[in-house]
Each structure stands twice: as C-alpha cells, then as structure tokens.
C-alpha cells in the first residue's frame, strides 16, 4: 500500500471520488462536451481539398496548406449564456450549428491569392473564401445575375433548400476590372431573441468567391459582452501584475541577499527552470506548424520562419528564467519562515518514498479540484443562474501533431509558475510580513484567483475569481502548508492536463484518444520508482513514510562510546567522569534512531556565559535533511537553559559549503568566528 495514515487514506478516497464526480458532471458544466470528432481530421482535410479542387480549375500541388480546429467564439458564448450549456449542447447537435469546425488554408508565399475552406466536425462544408487581388479581371454582372449564380450554388453545391430562407439586403462593390456582389439570406424558422442564422455568398465577377453559414448575434449582446470583458481584463491585468511582479521582486531580493551572504547554492533553481525550458520548447515546436495560419503573404517567407523560430526560443527562455529566481529566491524566503524544513518537498533519507507520497497526494488534489469545479458550476448555473463556458485551447489540443504535449504543457507550465508565485512566494511573503496564516491564505489566493478573470468569460465577470479563491485557500493553500509545494504543483498540473486529456479521450478519433490516454500515463509515470521500491522493500518503505525517523535527545553515558566512534575531526572529548558521567564542561545533543546515534552536536563551555560549538555531525544517510539545523537549535536551547547567552562556532568560512550551512542558520561572521545572532 502507498498509504499508511488515516489522513492519506481519506485524501485518496476523496480524490478518486472527485475524478468520478467530474466525469459524471462534465456534460452539464463543459460546453465543449458536445464536440464530436468522430470524423477524423484527415478525412476532413480530404473533404476540404476535394471541394477546393472541384470548384476551382487550378493546380493546388504547389500550394502550402495548414489545418486547424476552430470555434466561433462569440456565437458560442451567446448561445451558452442565452440558453444554458445543456440546451446549447443539444441545439448544436440537432441543428448542426456552425460553432465548431475545421479550417484549412491554402496559400503560396508572396502571392496574395489564397483559399480557405471551413468544414464542420461532421464533414459538411460551411465556409469558403477565395482571396483575390482587387485588380484581378472578371465579369461585370448585374445583381440579379449574381443572385442567380449564388442561388444555384447554394442549391446544387451546398444542398440548401432556399424556401426556408428569406433574402436580405445585398451589396455591390465595383473593382477596377470586375464587379463583386455579396448576397445574404436568413433562416425563417430560427427564433432565438434577435439572433439570426445566415447564409452569405460572395460573387467575384462571375465566380464564387465567398460562402459562409453562420450565426449572427444581436448587436446589444456584442456591445455588453465587450464592456464586460473590458472590466474583467482590468482586474486580470492589475492582479496579475501585482502577483507576478510582486513575487518576482520578493524572490529576486531574497536571492540577492542570500547570494551576498554566501547562503545560496546557485544550482538550486536550475532543475525546475530546465523543466520549464524543455516543456516550453517542446510545446512551441509542437505548435510551430500552426504558425502558417498567421503568415501574411506580403511577408518574406524565410524571414517569417526565422522570426517564428527565434520567438520559440525567446518565449521558452523568458518563461524559464523567472522560474529559476522564483524557486531559488522562494527557498531562501521559506528558510526564514520554516527554518527546519523544506517546504518544497519534505527532506528524508529515502527521497524516492517521500517524493512518491507527495506526488500521490498531488494527484488526489487534482481529483478534488475537478470535483469542486464541476460542483461549483453545477450549483452556480442551476441555483444562481450564473454562467461560465469552461473552455480550453481546442486548436492546440486538436490541431497539433502531438496533442498530448499541448495537454501536458497546459498543466506543467502554470502548475510550476503559478504555484511558485501564489504559494511559495505569495504565502511566504505575507507570513513573513503579517504573521497570520489566514491572511497568508486569503491575500495571495485572491490575487491568484482574480488574475484569471480576463482569460475566462463568465457572467457575472467575477465568477471565475470566486471559483478559484475558495480552492486557493482550502485546497492548494492548506495542502501547501501541510504537505509542501510539490503536492500543489502536481495537483495543479494534473487538473489542467486532465481537462485536455478528457476531451481528447471523448473525441472518438483514435489518434486523439490515444493521445489523451498517453497524457494520463505520463502523469502516472513518476510514481513507478516508488512503487517498485515499495514492492522490493516493503518494510523500508513503511519506515521511510514515518514523519521523523530520528529523535533529538540529550546525550547519556550509554551513547558516549558511539559518539567517540564518530568521525569528529578536530573535536576531542575527554573520557567519562568516573566512567559514568558526562563531562560537566560539555553539552552534547544526539540524533538517535532507537539506541543508535546518527548525529551529534558538541559545545564546550568556556565560561558561565559563553560556549563554543566544536562540531556538528550527521551520518551520511541523513544529511541534507535539516538535521544539522535541528541539532544546532537543540544545542543552543540547552545552553540557554544553563544560563549561556554567547554561543560561537569555529568553522572554516573559506569552505563554501560549510559557510553556507552556518549562514543559513542565520549566524553571522565576526572575524573568523561564526556567532549566533540575538
């Protein structure tokens, strides 16, 4: 079993239940649950290509193409807010509304003429565009002649029965060498407030230049939507600025102070920074083919790709560098608040076991968060008539060559970055300044929550902030203080990544389904070393999961032989007094596991008020686990009980490791003597 404590068993049961609840409630709170990708994207591409070649007499073998998944965002928002998510999902399926579709672009570098075909997820053509230079020659048709061509196209090519469509006002534009017309129809039996289902056909000369099946939303809704988004972006921009810039400033100051004092190991932030760098590069390279969507044919094609490749590296580096300082500086901040523990991952001789336990708790935290979000929006939508489309970046998820990378990227990058900002540095800074845990949970949690309102459309606009503020306090904040940062990073990563994996698995496309399963497998992969160790050495595993395998105790005569056998270097101890008592002018604290001494700190009493720490020793298996700090603190406390208030330690301050150890205990150097600060 991974679990030894009742608390871990409870967390596991709640986490597993959370995953089940999220799966059940998904169709009721996620509008994208209606996306049907049973028609493979390769089939969609061939449909678009066949349509293009059938309706144009050009050779498209010399054209470049790019396919991407799209959502008609504003109409989608309008439907969901007007009808609710469940009714919107039903209507999209029944009416085949043009909300989700595949778009394919064909172009030649430095040539203005290009083509674009939109295909619905069930394989119907819902859009076509042929971009031509204005000076391209063509026919000079009347509006009536153009309307005949458009109606024939809609009936014979697109299969529309126009008896159910009402003609609207048309427009004509006179080009230098041709006449272009735009004609529109609206569906007669569509009745949803002031919205309209429309067909639009553009005639370039005597050719079809444009076709679209689309939903026109009311102008009043569009205006209100933009006003609401402006307010949301105001809160998003300012809270993000305070959280991100504030965390970087605090972490940067802690980094520089620690560097000046010799407390810092500059390598400490490299690992997470390199992880972020690697994931960013993979994610950028995975989306690089989609850059063709944004290529302007007036650009130099070689320079365009040079810029894209440079941006790939630039974005990855600018993401990784702040992580380095947040991690390294955040650790130094944490040492001031929690001097005898590592709040990123609890230190223990068996790092594999503690990592596995923290990682497992993080997975269960992800399940708890998924259930919470699903229940929150179910209650908010049906009980309080609020609304939020819990959407993700479908284009990156469905259109990239390796969809699983997009899903993992959406989990790993925010999981590391936001947890460092809001939890390690945010909670740490407020605790250092204000000393109250409840404020340390509320303030950075609120900033983190409202830093998300600009990227998510909700009604009211602050709903996303409320939704995130609660888990920031009672889930991520509490888990951070109790179990450490790794658990919350994993929980954050699992939640975000599984949102994408869930839609991949539901897509009905074999490749996408396999990608979603791969995401789940990769999220579980870090558990394997611990599970293997648990299977190979079960007793050692159980011992490793104990909160503290060593006890801090004053030395007794029975420990003396073991203490003398330790490699104490220059420290020398006299024999026991009368063979039974410890020397009166020494104070000795031991780290013991049962009757075995695994560490010791020794101080020589120089006078009634002064003592010198001669040696601090921890056995190799227990080093780097904060036992040295505990030994020093325990020894100083014992000396204070004897009335000694001046404690010094003679150490080799030219040794960077030794000096770093002592300065991290907040001791200061006086000449060549390290002395405890008052």
Say if CB 662 and CB 378 are below 8 A apart. no
Instruction: Sort residue 193 into left (φ over 0), alpha (ψ -120 to 50) or beta.
Output: left
What is residue 644's predicted lDDT score, i.e. its pLDDT?
93
- pTM here? 0.90
Q: Residue ranges per domain, the chain?
A: 6-29+221-535, 35-217, 551-676
Query: In order along the chain (678 residues), what is the average pLDDT of each group of 10 residues?
Result: 74 96 81 73 94 89 93 88 80 85 95 95 94 94 95 94 93 95 95 92 95 95 90 94 97 93 85 97 95 93 96 97 97 90 86 91 96 90 74 79 95 97 97 95 96 83 92 96 96 95 86 95 96 84 70 92 86 82 92 92 92 91 88 93 89 74 73 54
List, in sequence order, the alpha helices (H) in 40-188: 41-54, 73-83, 85-95, 143-152
**Cα gap 405→381, rounded to integer Å:** 32
**Cα gap 564→573, rounded to integer Å:** 7
Q: Find all residues with CB under 8 Å of 178, minimum gap 6, and list them.
A: 136, 137, 138, 139, 140, 204, 205
The DSSP secondary structure of 108-119, one letter per residue, reads -TT-S-EEEEEE
What is residue 4's predicted lDDT score, i.e. its pLDDT?
62
Nearest to 348 by CA among 129, 541, 135: 541
CA distances from 317 to 252, 266, 276, 310 (A): 17, 18, 9, 11
Strand partners, 107: 64, 114
- For 551-676, CATH number out of 3.90.1150.10, 3.40.640.10, 3.40.50.620, 3.40.630.30 equals 3.40.630.30
**Cα gap 308→312, rounded to integer Å:** 6
What is residue 592's predicted lDDT score, i.e. its pLDDT?
93
What is residue 1's predicted lDDT score, i.e. its pLDDT?
42
What is residue 329's predicted lDDT score, i.e. its pLDDT?
96
**Cα gap 648→636, rounded to integer Å:** 10
The DSSP secondary structure of 554-577, one letter per residue, reads E--GGGHHHHHHS--TT---PPPB
């Amino acid at each position: 079993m991974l679990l030894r404590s009742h608390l871990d068993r409870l967390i596991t049961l709640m986490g597993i239940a959370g995953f089940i609840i999220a799966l059940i409630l998904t169709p009721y709170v996620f509008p994208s649950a209606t996306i049907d990708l049973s028609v493979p994207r390769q089939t969609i591409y061939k449909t678009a290509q066949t349509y293009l070649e059938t309706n144009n007499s050009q050779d498209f073998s010399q054209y470049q193409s790019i396919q991407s998944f799209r959502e008609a965002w504003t109409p989608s928002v309008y439907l969901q807010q007007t009808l609710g998510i469940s009714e919107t999902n039903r209507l999209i399926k029944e009416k085949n509304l043009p909300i989700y579709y595949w778009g394919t672009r064909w172009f030649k570098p430095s040539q203005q003429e290009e083509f674009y075909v939109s295909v619905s997820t069930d394989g119907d053509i819902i859009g076509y565009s042929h971009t031509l230079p204005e000076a391209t020659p063509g026919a000079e048709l009347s509006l009536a002649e153009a309307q005949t061509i458009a109606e024939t196209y809609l009936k014979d090519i697109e299969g529309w029965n126009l008896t159910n469509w009402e003609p609207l006002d048309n427009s004509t534009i006179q080009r230098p060498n041709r006449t272009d017309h735009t004609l529109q129809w609206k569906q007669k039996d569509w009745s949803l407030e002031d919205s309209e289902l429309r067909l639009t056909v553009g005639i370039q000369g005597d050719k079809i230049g444009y076709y679209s099946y689309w939903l026109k939303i009311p102008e009043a809704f569009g205006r209100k939507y933009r006003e609401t988004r402006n307010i949301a972006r105001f809160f998003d921009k300012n809270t993000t600025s305070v959280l991100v810039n504030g965390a970087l400033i605090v972490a940067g100051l802690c980094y520089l102070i620690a560097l000046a004092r010799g407390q810092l190991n500059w390598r400490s932030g490299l690992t997470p920074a390199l992880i972020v760098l690697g994931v960013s590069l993979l994610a950028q390279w995975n989306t690089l083919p989609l850059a063709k969507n944004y290529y302007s044919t007036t650009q130099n094609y070689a320079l365009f790709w040079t810029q894209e490749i440079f941006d790939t590296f630039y974005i990855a580096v600018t993401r990784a560098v702040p992580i380095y300082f947040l991690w390294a500086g955040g650790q130094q901040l944490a040492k001031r608040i929690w001097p005898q523990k590592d709040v990123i991952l609890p230190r223990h001789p068996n790092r594999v076991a503690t990592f596995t336990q923290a990682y497992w708790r993080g997975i269960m935290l992800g399940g708890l968060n998924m259930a919470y979000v699903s229940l929150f929006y179910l209650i908010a939508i049906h009980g309080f008539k609020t609304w939020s489309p819990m959407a993700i970046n479908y284009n990156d998820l469905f259109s990239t060559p390796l969809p699983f990378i997009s899903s993992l990227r959406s989990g790993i990058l925010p999981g590391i970055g936001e947890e460092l900002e809001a939890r390690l540095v945010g909670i740490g800074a407020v605790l250092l300044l204000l000393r109250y845990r409840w404020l340390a949970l509320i303030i950075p949690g609120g900033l983190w929550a409202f830093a998300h309102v600009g990227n998510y459309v909700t009604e009211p606009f602050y709903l996303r902030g409320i939704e995130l503020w609660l888990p920031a306090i009672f889930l991520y904040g509490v888990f951070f203080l109790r179990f450490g940062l790794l658990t919350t990073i994993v929980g954050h990563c699992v939640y975000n990544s599984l949102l994408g994996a869930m839609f991949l698995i539901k897509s009905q496309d074999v490749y996408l389904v396999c990608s979603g399963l791969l995401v789940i497998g990769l999220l579980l992969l870090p558990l394997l070393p611990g599970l293997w160790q648990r299977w190979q050495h079960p007793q050692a595993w159980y011992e490793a999961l104990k909160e503290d395998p060593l006890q801090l105790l004053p030395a007794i005569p029975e420990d003396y032989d073991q203490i003398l056998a330790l490699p104490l270097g220059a420290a020398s101890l006299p024999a026991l007094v009368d063979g039974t008592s410890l020397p009166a002018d020494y104070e000795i604290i031991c780290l013991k596991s049962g009757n075995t001494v695994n560490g010791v700190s020794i101080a020589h009493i120089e006078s009634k008020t002064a003592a010198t720490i001669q040696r601090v020793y921890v056995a190799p298996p227990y080093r780097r686990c904060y036992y040295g700090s505990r030994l020093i603190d325990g020894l100083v406390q014992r000396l204070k009980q004897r009335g000694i208030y001046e404690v010094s330690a003679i150490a080799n301050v030219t040794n960077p490791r030794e000096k770093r150890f002592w300065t991290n205990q907040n001791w200061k150097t006086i000449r060549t003597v390290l002395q405890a600060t008052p």
